[in-house]
């Protein structure tokens, strides 16, 4: 079949397809709307001109995918059309393992922007920071990239190198990072205890296994002989993830009350998620650590615990992504990620483009190097010939390790200090 014959069959099918897409969520009258038809005729006219007059033959699939990309890109930074390959990449993300740099990105001011590098992964180790704008990948400009274009370019086989060029606030010139891709296996929950009675749980993202990992973490930190005096929930640099997992995580801390609500144009997008009493929620005071890298699902948890007066938020203002996306698989293996609603905290606040303000504002302070610590105090253990204590004999060096952790992280130290003084404040 020659190209002109294909075009004759293709254009009516395209017109029907476009009308179908524009009709989703509306009544049948929309299809006869004069303005809609006028625009569809314009689209058809342009496509016809391209097919007849463009200097070379065009691939209908490429042209249509480009048109859909343009349509979706005009909506918001989080809606996207994904090819079959890009859709596969997205599905891999929620499983917790892929090969890449370990970096979370978004679209901000039409630029690929780092939300947060994942701790101890290649981008983090190389020195990439939240807020960096990626302007080139392997020398190719990202000016017209979609999020999925960038994700696909940054992914690759383990051991291969990619060069990203970023611009950073406060730096006069672009910075190049040569980063070797690695397998990014993300365990989304980590836990430990401080001095046996302060629990610490770090959630790095929300993937399919997060709620189950959290249950195991609870058991681990509650296994000690001493009841927990308090709990620190660390959601800093958590870019979000699956909505259902953020709801389950919130429910794990709450006996009752609303967790989050969503509101959109369709009936199915309007929902209220409520907590249920499972009988095993922690009873101790909770401090949640947040910062500018706390986004989306992590903001849902933060808002739910704050508004239900179950936790105090400490740190800095969150990212402010308060929209809900749904994934619609398409017949050819591609998919549409479409923003369908905004979510609201239990108090009815939308945090879209606003973020959540912490109850206690504490800016992160860069740790002071040992040789810069001019005010280091002399203690008994520093005196030559002092009598060694039990911990120095190697029986227990846990306290020293904990002190090193807290010297590196002033926000965590502030949270633990607050929990330790909780009973004192209750008496005032």
Beta-carbon contacts of 77 under 8 Å, excluding residues fewer than 6 positions away, are 106, 107, 108, 147
Number of Cβ atoms within 10 Å of the Cβ of 243: 20
Long-range contacts of 327-330 (CB under 8 A, 24+ apart): 327/87, 327/90, 329/87
366 labelled catalytic = no
Residues 167, 295, 333: CA angle, nearest 5 degrees:
85
234 labelled catalytic = no
Residues 9, 12, 16: CA angle, nearest 5 degrees:
135
Cα–Cα dist 148/144, whole Å: 11
- Strand order of the β-sheet with 360-361 is 189-194, 198-203, 230-234, 286-290, 312-315, 360-361
How would you write the pLDDT of the chain (428 residues) with one tens digit per residue?
444 444 444 444 444 444 444 444 455 454 457 888 888 899 999 999 999 999 999 998 899 899 999 999 899 989 999 988 888 877 776 666 788 999 888 888 889 999 888 878 999 999 999 899 999 999 999 998 988 889 889 999 999 999 999 999 999 999 999 999 999 887 899 999 999 999 999 999 899 999 999 999 999 999 988 899 999 999 998 989 899 999 999 999 999 999 999 999 999 999 999 999 999 999 999 999 999 989 999 999 999 999 999 999 999 999 999 999 999 999 999 999 999 999 999 999 999 999 999 999 999 998 765 544 444 555 666 676 777 765 555 545 666 677 777 888 999 999 999 999 987 766 55
The catalytic residue among 121, 229, 248, 321 is 321
255 labelled catalytic = no
Strand residues in 187-293 grouped as ranges (E): 189-194, 198-203, 230-234, 258-264, 271-274, 286-290
* Number of alpha carbons in the 13 Å side-chain half-sphere of residue 208: 8
CB 82 within 8 A of CB 337: yes
* Number of alpha carbons in the 13 Å side-chain half-sphere of residue 276: 4
The catalytic residue among 250, 296, 302, 414 is 296
The catalytic residue among 93, 132, 234, 307 is 307
Long-range contacts of 366-370 (CB under 8 A, 24+ apart): 367/407, 367/408, 367/409
């Amino acid at each position: 079949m020659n190209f002109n014959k294909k075009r004759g069959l293709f254009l009516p099918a395209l017109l029907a397809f476009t009308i179908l897409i524009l009709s989703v969520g509306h009544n049948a009258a929309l299809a006869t709307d004069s303005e809609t038809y006028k625009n569809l005729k314009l689209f058809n006219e342009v496509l016809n001109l391209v097919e007849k007059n463009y200097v070379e033959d065009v691939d209908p699939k490429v042209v249509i995918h480009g048109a859909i990309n343009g349509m979706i890109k005009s909506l918001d930074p989080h809606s996207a059309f994904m090819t079959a390959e890009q859709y596969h990449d997205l599905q891999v993300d929620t499983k917790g393992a892929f090969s890449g740099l370990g970096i979370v990105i978004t679209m901000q001011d039409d630029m690929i922007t780092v939300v947060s590098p994942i701790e101890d992964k290649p981008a983090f180790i190389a020195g990439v920071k939240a807020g960096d704008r990626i302007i080139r990948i392997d020398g190719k400009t990202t000016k017209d990239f979609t999020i999925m274009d960038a994700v696909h370019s940054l992914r690759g086989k383990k051991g291969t190198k990619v060069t990203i060029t970023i611009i950073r606030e406060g730096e006069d010139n672009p910075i190049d990072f040569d980063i070797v891709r690695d397998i990014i296996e993300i365990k989304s929950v980590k836990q430990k205890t401080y001095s046996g009675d302060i629990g610490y749980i770090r959630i790095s993202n929300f993937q399919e296994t997060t709620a189950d990992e959290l249950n195991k973490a609870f058991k681990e930190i509650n296994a000690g002989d001493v009841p927990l005096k308090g709990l620190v929930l660390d959601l800093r640099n958590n870019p979000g993830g699956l909505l259902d997992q953020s709801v389950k995580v919130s429910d794990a801390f709450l006996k009752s009350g609303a967790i989050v609500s969503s509101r959109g144009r369709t009936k199915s997008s309007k929902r209220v998620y409520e907590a249920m009493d499972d009988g095993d929620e922690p009873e101790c005071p909770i401090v949640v650590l947040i910062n500018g890298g706390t986004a989306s699902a992590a903001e849902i948890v933060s808002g739910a615990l704050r508004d239900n007066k179950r936790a105090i938020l400490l740190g800095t203002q969150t990212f402010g992504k308060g929209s809900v996306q749904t994934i619609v698989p398409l017949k050819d293996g591609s998919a549409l990620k479409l923003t369908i609603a905004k979510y609201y905290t239990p108090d009815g606040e939308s945090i879209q483009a606003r973020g959540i303000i912490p109850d206690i504002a504490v800016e992160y302070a860069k740790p002071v190097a040992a040789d810069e610590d001019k005010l280091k105090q002399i203690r008994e253990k520093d005196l030559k010939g002092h009598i060694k204590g039990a911990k120095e004999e190697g029986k227990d060096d846990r306290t020293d390790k904990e002190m090193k952790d807290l010297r590196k992280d002033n926000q965590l130290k502030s949270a633990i200090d607050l929990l330790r003084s909780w009973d004192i404040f209750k008496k005032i």
